[in-house]
């Protein structure tokens, strides 16, 4: 297991130094089958990353659209600030990148920050999918018991 120091870590005085280290400094990683290091994602980060991948096809992966898509697909209440925090963490980990879109009249001439999944983010999603499929396949496939010959014990 590897530990990676994440940039932009913030100290939270009420939780103390240990909580700070556990939450912000140490990110558990592992090496996948292709030998590349992977960072574990929380469930919410995984959903946000997957939503960015889906919406990026139509270049619609921006905060409000991501929020609406997650609410629609999961039925769970999500706030825009939660989405932005997750996107910032994913960008720090190198799984998404962002760029400013063109100004639009519907936004009063303001530009949207559009997100897209990086190659590393796509590999992470693929790795997550493989792990989940493996578990679901094992769960849905009956376990086959292998008969073994019992060897006579020298003790009895």
Domains of the chain in start order, with CATH, are 1-31 (no CATH), 42-103+110-131 (1.10.10.10)
91, 98 in Cβ contact below 8 A? yes
For the record, the structure tokens of 92 come out as: 């720090």
Structure confidence at residue 109 as a pLDDT band (50, 70, 90): confident
Between residues 69 and 136, which one has the greater pLDDT? 69
For 118, the token pair is 């990086």
| Per-chain mean pLDDT for the chain | 76
Query: What percent helix, strand, coil does the chain show, rounded to 5?
Result: 45, 20, 35
Whether the predicted pLDDT of 96 surpasses 70: yes
Which residues lie below 8 Å from residue 115, measured CB to CB, with a gap of 6+?
Answer: 52, 56, 61, 62, 66, 87, 91, 96, 97, 98
Bridge pairing between strands 26-31 and 2-5:
antiparallel
Q: Pick the closest to residue 131 from 56, 27, 64, 32 (CA basis).
A: 32
Give me the mean pLDDT over the 13-40 stretch: 45
Task: State the pTM of this model.
Answer: 0.65
């Amino acid at each position: 297991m590897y530990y990676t120091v994440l940039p932009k870590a913030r100290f939270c005085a009420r939780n103390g130094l240990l909580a700070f280290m556990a939450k912000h400094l140490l990110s558990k990683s592992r090496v996948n089958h292709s030998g590349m290091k992977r960072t574990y994602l929380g469930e919410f980060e995984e959903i946000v990353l997957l939503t960015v991948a889906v919406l990026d096809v139509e270049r619609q992966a921006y905060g409000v659209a991501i929020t609406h898509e997650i609410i629609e697909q999961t039925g769970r209440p999500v706030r825009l600030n939660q989405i932005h925090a997750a996107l910032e963490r994913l960008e720090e980990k190198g799984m998404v990148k962002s760029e400013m879109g063109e100004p639009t009249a519907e936004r009063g001439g303001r530009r949207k920050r559009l997100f897209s999944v990086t190659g590393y983010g796509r590999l992470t999603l693929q790795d997550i999918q493989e792990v989940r499929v493996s578990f679901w396949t094992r769960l849905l496939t009956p376990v086959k018991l292998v008969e073994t010959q019992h060897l006579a014990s020298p003790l009895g």
